[in-house]
Homo-oligomer: A and B are copies of this chain.
Amino acid sequence: MAYRETEKMRQRKAQARQRIIDCTYECVANGGFRSARITRIAGLAGVATGTIYRHFESREDLFAEIFRTATQREVDKVAEALTTDGDAAVRLEAALRQFAERAMRGPMMAWALIAEPVDPKLEEERLVYRRAYAELFEKAIRDGIEEGCIPDQDARQSSTCLVGAIAESLVGPLSPTLAGQITIADIDKNKLVDSIIRFCMQGLTGTRR
């Protein structure tokens, strides 16, 4: 009789996989991808390191999964904020604020997702997601141009300016590694978010805020 995986075995495997993912997420949220060593993850998940490699081909594959899951959550939140009430400019501002405020609440995870130096494989995932944000913004800018609340412009181009401005301006304050950098605890988060949003909305609309 051929070997057949029972339902119970499948369940147990799926549970172990999820535990590995959860523990990796926890490590990254606390110390970035660099701190997420396989031995540490295995210890937290209560599995042998070999078990991790039965579920993921490599550390990079495991990280890519964490990166995709965590980033998709942020992309979804931005998409959700873009469906709130108000004209396209109001909705765009809500989405930018959502993005920045969430990053401020989980600065280490945000740093890991946005700017932590990572392997090229992960870096490529990052480029794909930056495109996902840009596409959401581009759609909203087009809506705004149609509604008349945003002046006519190259919506695609401006959407990438938004992604860049918000990501880059968060890099410094979120950074746990840059020497001499002020830490997230020292800065006035509301003021920081307001200042990023002002630049972005002025850039889009050309109207002083």
Question: B195 and A206: CB pair below 8 A?
Answer: no
| CB atoms of B158 and A199 under 8 A apart | yes
A191 to B158, alpha carbons, bound, how many Å? 12
- Alpha-carbon gap, A200 to B199, bound state (A): 8
Chain B residues within 8 Å of A161, by CB: 165-166, 168-169, 196, 199-200, 203
Most chain B CB atoms below 10 A, which of A120, A124, A156, A203:
A203
> CA A117 – CA B157 in complex, angstroms?
21
Instruction: Please tell me if A167 contacts chain B, counting CB pairs below 8 Å.
Output: yes
Check A75 for interface membership: any CB of B closer than 8 A. Answer: no
Expressed in whole angstroms, the Cα–Cα distance for A186 and B160 within the complex equals 18
- Residue of B at shortest CB range from A158? B199
Query: Does A176 make an interface contact (CB < 8 A)?
Result: no
| Interface set, chain A 151-209, CB cutoff 8 A to B | 151, 153-154, 156-158, 160-169, 171-172, 175, 178, 191-192, 195-196, 198-200, 202-209
CB-CB contacts below 8 Å: A132-163 with B: 134, 151, 153-154, 156-158, 160-163
Shortest Cβ distance from A34 into B: residue: B120
Tallying the copies of this chain within the complex gives: 2
Residues of chain A in range 63-86 having any CB-CB distance to chain B below 8 Å: none
Given the complex, which residues of B lie within 8 Å of A117, measured CB to CB?
120-121, 123-124, 126-127
Task: Point out the residue from B115, B120, B130 that lies within 8 Å of A168, measured CB to CB.
Answer: B130
Instruction: Give the interface of A toward B (CB within 8 A).
Output: 34, 115, 117-121, 123-124, 126-127, 130-131, 134, 151, 153-154, 156-158, 160-169, 171-172, 175, 178, 191-192, 195-196, 198-200, 202-209
Give 16 CB contacts A-B under 8 Å: A117-B121, A117-B123, A117-B124, A118-B123, A119-B119, A127-B175, A153-B198, A157-B195, A160-B165, A161-B166, A161-B169, A161-B196, A161-B199, A164-B167, A199-B203, A202-B202
